[in-house]
Amino acid sequence: MYKRPARVLFWSWRDPCAGLLARAVAMQEGASWLTARAGVWGEAPGCHALARFLRGRGLTPDGELEPLDGQLLAWADLLVTLDAQARSRCPPLASTTRPVHWPVPEAPGAYGQLYPRLRRRIGETIGGLRLLSRLDEGESGG
């Protein structure tokens, strides 16, 4: 592992439940490499359709949407915006937080299309963390 698990915050303005899906996929695919949370601007919607989708794939619909505030933003190493609205409304970030944009399908609730995209992107992120870990071990002689 590279130093400590990366702290990833997912945020979708248009479909906040997409952030919860990203969190679930991240925790399933790479819990030893990252810790994930999902933020929401304003009131959190019910994500019942997402819960059904996750259970249909053998995933536990855990976690919750958290208010996107300064404390949550400061926690994150990586802020992943999932739609253009979130990207354009991105609040100021700490110098230690890197923003990235992973566009999702335009139709809210298109979890069947979004799920494989998220698995691929999260897999790529974990691959990058593994590479950093190997490089760090090589520099320290380990």
C-alpha torsion sign, points 61, 77, 128, 80: positive
Q: Distance of alpha carbon 98 from its chain centroid, rounded?
A: 13
| Residue 130 falls inside a structural domain | yes
| Residue 44 falls inside a structural domain | yes
C-alpha torsion sign, points 120, 132, 86, 10: positive
| Residue 80 falls inside a structural domain | yes
Average pLDDT rounded to a whole number, residues 14-25: 92
Beta strands in the chain, from DSSP E residues, in sequence order: 6-11, 34-40, 65-67, 78-81, 98-101
**Res 60 pLDDT > 90:** no
| Residue 111 falls inside a structural domain | yes
DSSP string for residues in 14-29? S-HHHHHHHHHHHHHH
| Residue 1 falls inside a structural domain | no
| Residue 142 falls inside a structural domain | no
Size (the chain), residues: 142
| Residue 56 falls inside a structural domain | yes
Can you give the pLDDT at residue 141? 57
Angle in degrees, 0-180, between the axes of helices 48-56 and 111-139, rounded to the nearest 10: 70
Can you give the pLDDT at residue 1? 46
Can you give the pLDDT at residue 74? 94
For residue 92, what is the domain's CATH number? 3.40.50.2300
| Residue 29 falls inside a structural domain | yes
**Res 9 pLDDT > 90:** yes
How many domains does the chain contain in total? 1
Range of the domain at 100: 6-136
pLDDT digits (tens, 9 = 90+) for 80-89: 999 999 999 9
Average pLDDT rounded to a whole number, residues 56-62: 80
Cα separation of 49 and 24, whole Å?
14
Provide Rg for the chain, Cα atoms. Answer: 15
Contact yes or no for 69/79 (Cβ under 8 A): no
